[in-house]
């Protein structure tokens, strides 16, 4: 496969035991994929290896045979398992040497007050000034490790540090301009992209296939990319060039998915925050089983203080009474996981915060706490304002973490639909009650 | 590199545009790495390709030449970009055929009440019953897509569905037992593993290198694996077999890192919850700039209701007064981001929740809101109980999301240290105030 816009084959090689084990969120891949996409470039493949010299060398040799560009990330630090520079030299058949400019960069950095914690390991840090003979240095304006580029096989290979802000500065300032200089831009293509929330991929495909005439698929290719609470649907011309069905597709997609569409490249939580801003409303949240995850997802958005008043995580039953003023008799009568409790949580949090609208979530995240009538995965989500409060019951039978994530997404989507005046009784693909 | 315990080379091949772009947390890798490690197996390399037939075929061919076992994940669904079965057939030089047992499995599944949403796309689902000729089926007890195994090159290749709980059931019940049957276990080795929180890798390495005599490194290899708020340090014998320095290493590690060590395979948040449980204390949280992320991380732990009373996300200044009873005059005098505010948040949340101990967090997450004396990244973390409240100021200059994650980790660690009676004035590698 070659990239469809510029016709170049671009690969990533990531190093590090923590990325291989998947314990860390791979934010560097997210950044690179996005920054490259904005320049019309796509990643063709990604290889991850641990901190093992032989594996890095082999990965480099394989990728440099089938790629035009290889971006290598990680392993440029000063510890014994930082092996990338050595691997680069071996893969290219070159020697490592101390680069005088890199030495100067390190000494300048270490001399600055902020780096005063470092002097005792000066010896190891000098390791970071060793690069393969003939390598071109890439400046690191924000950290110690310098990057470098060399040609291996048919590929130009860029070696970058694993610290996200160091990678980001180096990529933006040095690497991307260099890639764009080397490879001439091709014709732009008209891809139609849509961001859909609340429906699963297979149902989206089914709806589209049933609607568009069969001949269209000779010109158009359908693709999906699942995000955290959205699916990106892409309809792109199979042959590079313009999209003959663009208008038809647009009409169909808006028609089929109107209430499910959110801004492209936006998250569900951003869509909620944007709509609150448009309507000049302040939100409050009352969460039990999700433990603050809805509040945390909303608070991740920059500038959200204009629309987010406060959140209460009333985890114990006592805190539901103390903090939200829910009578303990009501909890005893209906149970803490009930329609009544969810509605009272919304009322309570509106009262104590003075916000304009609110969401209340109470459910059984598991693994324990389920009953015959309310099994693990049962959750009540309430939402509304001082005049009306609505509530839905969902059954989300997943592990604790997935339950919390999907419940948070459902609550945000119900809030979004309420804020737009859309129906709030639609099916969620992860809800087993709305299926039957 | 071959696996050091069983001497087999094991690779992962993941398919899917969403994994390639890094937008999704790759929970399947996390699961596989952990489940394999428990059986004494390590992943040697991981390759990720998009939903592209040619790329999947090439990936399979390359990995099957250099691996004994390849686990392929994703692309067994019913949509047009599910291409893995076809790629398997092409890579193995076999034809695809409809497998009668797979058909029966699908029809049984679809006939059950829970799958009643599916009948309209029965035609597409039959695609999921096509596997390469000679493939052995792998049962999927919880979903539609069946897995299968075939031999390509020198490798046995297992093809598994992308839905986490389907992969987990199939791997545990069919694949792992098959791998263990095929490959005889080798001698166990004595690796010493430690989980350290609050110190960066390079500093840990420096401390260890300065302490252990140089000759030890002829026998022992040092490795690091960074988690979300911990670094796992592994000291393992270079030659398979027992570890001659195990006792010496143990003494040294406990001596150097005592207050920084947490249980192996445990997260920082679990360590806090465990200690609360041991001391029979209930916790409450008051968060501003972290927006509920500390509460959500704690609430992710099963059974945490025994120790987590409630959390307040007092995002606006008004909510700090309304919900926590902080006099607005105090906020005006000292500012909402101040030592005084953090201490008053702890006091306030202890009062309103009745919890035994609490944490209060107020800071400037950015990108806006910084001043000359309190730049973006400034945060005050308070903690304590009804008799004593302490507070620290940190400066964490990262993007908004990283700021929130690191602040949450620092707050959890200060709480942990308070609960153990350890010093709370130690340096954090991400804090620019404690460096100078």
Asked if A121 has any chain B CB less than 8 Å from its own CB, the reply is yes
Question: What average pLDDT does the segment B354-366 reach?
Answer: 97
Query: In b/e form, how buried is each residue of B350-389, taking b as 16+ CB within 10 angstroms?
Result: bebbebbbbbbbbbbbbeebbeeebebbbbbbbbbeeeeb
Closest chain B residue to the Cα of A30, Cα to Cα: B22
- Closest Cα in chain B to A282: B316
| Confidence tier at A353 by pLDDT (50, 70, 90) | very high
Contact predicate B139/B170, CB 8 Å: yes
B341 pLDDT higher than 90? yes
Q: What is the pLDDT of residue B174?
A: 93
Q: Which residue from B48, B81, B222 is facing A46, i.e. has the nearest CB? A: B48
The yes-or-no verdict on residue A119 having pLDDT over 80 is no
Cα A135 to Cα A53, A66, A148, A151, A370: the distances in Å are 19, 21, 6, 8, 61
Q: Which residues of B touch A291 (CB under 8 A)?
A: 292, 295-296, 298-300, 308, 311
Structure tokens at B153: 């090159």
Over range A121-136, report the average pLDDT. 76
* Contact (CB<8Å) B313/A285: yes
Best residue in B162, B269, B295 for a mutation probing chain A (most A CBs within 10 Å): B295
Is A322 in CB contact (< 8 Å) with chain B? yes
Interface ipTM: 0.77
Q: Which residue has the tokens 């709030």?
A: A424
Using 50, 70 and 90 to split pLDDT, how confident is the model at A4? very low
Residue A104, both tokens = 């100067």
Query: Residue B330: how many CB atoms within 10 A of its CB?
Result: 17
What distance in Å separates residue B182's CA from the closest CA in chain A?
Answer: 24
- Work out the pLDDT band at A18, boundaries 50, 70, 90: confident
Q: Is A370 on the interface with B (CB under 8 A)?
A: no
The reply to whether residue A309 touches residue B298, judged by beta carbons under 8 angstroms, is: no
Please list the residues that pair with A147 across neighbouring strands.
A138
Q: How far apart are CA A294 and CA B162, in angstroms?
A: 26
Report the candidate in B281, B414, B278 with the shortest Cα–Cα distance to residue B353: B281
SS3 A211: helix
Scanning A269-298 for CB atoms below 8 A from B yields: 282, 285, 287, 289-296, 298
pLDDT at A22: 65
Q: Average pLDDT in the B321-345 region?
A: 96
DSSP calls for B298-354 = HHTSTTGGGTEEEEEEE-SHHHHHHHH---HHHHHHH-SSSHHHHHHHHHHHHHHH-
For residue A201, name the pLDDT band (cuts at 50, 70, 90).
Answer: confident
Maximum mean pLDDT: which of A122-136, A187-201, A382-396, B87-101: A382-396
Q: Is the pLDDT of residue A169 over 60?
A: yes
CB-based contact (8 Å) between A114 and chain B? yes
DSSP state of B83: -
Q: Give yes or no for a contact between B388 and B403, defined as CB atoms under 8 angstroms apart.
A: no
| Residue A120 pLDDT > 50 | no
Q: Is A218 on the interface with B (CB under 8 A)?
A: no
Q: Is A120 on the interface with B (CB under 8 A)?
A: yes
- Band (pLDDT 50/70/90 cuts) for residue A25 is low
Q: Is the pLDDT of residue B278 over 80?
A: yes
What's the mean pLDDT in B264-288? Answer: 95
CA distance B310 to chain A (A): 5
pLDDT band at B127 (very low <50, low <70, confident <90, very high): confident
Question: If you count DSSP H runs as helices and E runs as strands, how many of each does chain A have, helices first?
Answer: 16, 17
Tell whether A214 is within 8 A of chain B (Cβ): no
Q: Which candidate in A2, A45, A67 is best for mutational testing of the B interface (most B CBs within 10 A)?
A: A45
**CB-based contact, B318 to chain A, within 8 Å:** yes
Phi, psi of B383 (to 5 degrees): -155, 160
Dihedral of alpha carbons B107, B112, B115, B119, sign: positive
Per-residue pLDDT, A5: 47
> Which residues, 6+ apart, have CB-to-CB distance to B123 below 8 Å?
none
Q: Residue B148: which of B133, B127, B163 has the closest Cα?
A: B133
Kindly report the average pLDDT of chain B as a whole number: 87
Higher pLDDT, A265 or A321: A321
B267 DSSP assignment: -
Contact between chains at A205 and B79 (C-beta distance less than 8 A): yes
- Show residues of chain A in contact with B34, CB under 8 Å: 21
CB atoms A55 and B296 under 8 Å: no
* Interval A45-55: pLDDT, tens: 999 998 889 99
Q: Is the pLDDT of residue B422 over 70?
A: yes
- Whether the pLDDT of residue B123 is over 60: the answer is no
CA distance linking residue A396 with residue A398, whole number of Å: 6
- In chain A, residues with a C-beta closer than 8 Å to the C-beta of B74 are none
Interface of B with A in 48-67 (CB under 8 A): 48-52, 54-55, 58-59, 62, 66
Which tokens hold the place of A248? 């038809």
Q: What percent of chain A has pLDDT over 90?
A: 58
Nearest to A56 by CA among A34, A88, A29: A88
Q: Does B253 touch chain A (CB under 8 A)?
A: no
**Residue-level pLDDT at B24:** 66
Output DSSP code: residue B174: I
pLDDT digits (tens, 9 = 90+) for A266-299: 899 999 999 999 999 999 999 999 999 999 999 9
As a three-state string, the secondary structure of B87-110 is HHHHHHCCCEEECHHHHHHHHHHH
Q: Which two tokens stand for residue A306?
A: 């204009």
Report the pLDDT averaged over residues B276-293. 97
**A225/B401 Cβ within 8 A:** no
Please give the average per-residue pLDDT across A206-227, as a whole number. 83
Q: Which helix (H) or strand (E) holds B383?
A: strand B378-384
SS3 state at A136: strand
Identify which of B68, B31, B23, B65 has the alpha carbon closest to the alpha carbon of residue B48: B23
Both tokens of residue B121?
Answer: 């796309």
A299 and B404 in contact by Cβ < 8 A? yes
The pLDDT of residue A3: 39
Q: How close does chain B come to A384, measured CA to CA in Å? A: 19
| pLDDT, position A124 | 60
Q: Please count the residue pairs, one from chain A and one from chain B, whose beta carbons lie less than 8 angstroms apart.
A: 322
Q: Read off the pLDDT of each residue in B9-37 and give the average, rounded to a whole number.
A: 83
Burial class (CB in 10 A: 0-12, 13-18, 19+), B50: buried
Task: Kindly report the number of other CB atoms within 10 A of residue A225's CB atom.
Answer: 24
Indicate if the pLDDT at residue B91 is higher than 60.
yes
Q: Is there a cis peptide before residue A367, judged by omega within 30 degrees of 0? A: yes
Nearest CA in chain A to B399: A165
């Amino acid at each position: 496969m070659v990239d469809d816009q510029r016709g170049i084959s671009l690969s990533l090689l990531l190093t590090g035991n923590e990325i291989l084990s998947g314990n860390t969120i791979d934010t560097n891949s997210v950044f690179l994929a996005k920054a490259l996409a904005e320049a019309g470039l796509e990643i063709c493949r990604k290889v991850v290896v641990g901190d093992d010299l032989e594996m890095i060398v082999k990965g480099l040799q394989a990728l440099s045979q089938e790629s035009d560009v290889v971006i290598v990330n990680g392993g440029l630090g000063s510890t014994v398992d930082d092996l990338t520079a050595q691997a680069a030299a071996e893969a290219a058949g070159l020697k490592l040497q101390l680069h005088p400019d890199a030495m100067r960069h390190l000494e300048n950095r270490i001399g600055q007050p902020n780096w005063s914690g470092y002097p005792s390991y000066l010896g190891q840090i000098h390791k970071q000034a060793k690069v393969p003979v003939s390598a071109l240095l890439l400046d690191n304006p924000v950290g110690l490790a310098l990057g470098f580029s060399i040609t291996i096989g048919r590929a130009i290979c860029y070696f970058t540090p694993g610290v996200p802000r160091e990678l980001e500065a180096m990529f933006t300032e040095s690497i991307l301009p260099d890639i764009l200089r080397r490879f001439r831009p091709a014709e732009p293509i008209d891809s139609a992209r849509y961001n859909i929330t609340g429906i699963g991929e297979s149902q989206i495909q089914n709806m589209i296939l049933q609607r568009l005439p069969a001949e269209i698929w000779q010109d158009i290719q359908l693709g999906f990319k699942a995000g955290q609470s959205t699916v990106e649907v892409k309809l792109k011309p199979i042959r590079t060039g313009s999209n003959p069905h663009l208008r038809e597709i647009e009409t169909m997609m808006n028609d089929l998915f109107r209430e499910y569409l959110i801004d492209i490249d936006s998250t569900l939580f951003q869509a909620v925050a944007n709509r609150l801003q448009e309507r000049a409303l302040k939100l409050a949240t009352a969460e039990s089983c999700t433990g603050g995850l809805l509040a945390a997802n909303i608070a991740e958005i920059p500038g959200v203080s204009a629309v987010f008043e406060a959140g209460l995580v009333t985890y114990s039953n006592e805190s539901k009474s103390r903090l939200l003023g829910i009578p303990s008799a009501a909890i005893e009568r209906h149970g803490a996981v009930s329609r009544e409790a969810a509605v009272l949580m919304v009322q309570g949090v509106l009262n104590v915060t003075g916000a304009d609208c609110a969401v209340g979530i109470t459910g059984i995240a598991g693994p324990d706490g389920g009953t015959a009538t309310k099994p693990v995965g049962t959750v009540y989500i309430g939402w509304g304002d001082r005049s009306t409060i609505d509530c839905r019951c969902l059954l989300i039978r997943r592990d604790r973490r997935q339950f919390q994530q999907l419940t948070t997404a459902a609550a945000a989507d119900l809030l979004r639909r309420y804020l737009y005046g859309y129906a709030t009784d639609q099916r969620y693909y992860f809800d087993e009650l709305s299926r039957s």
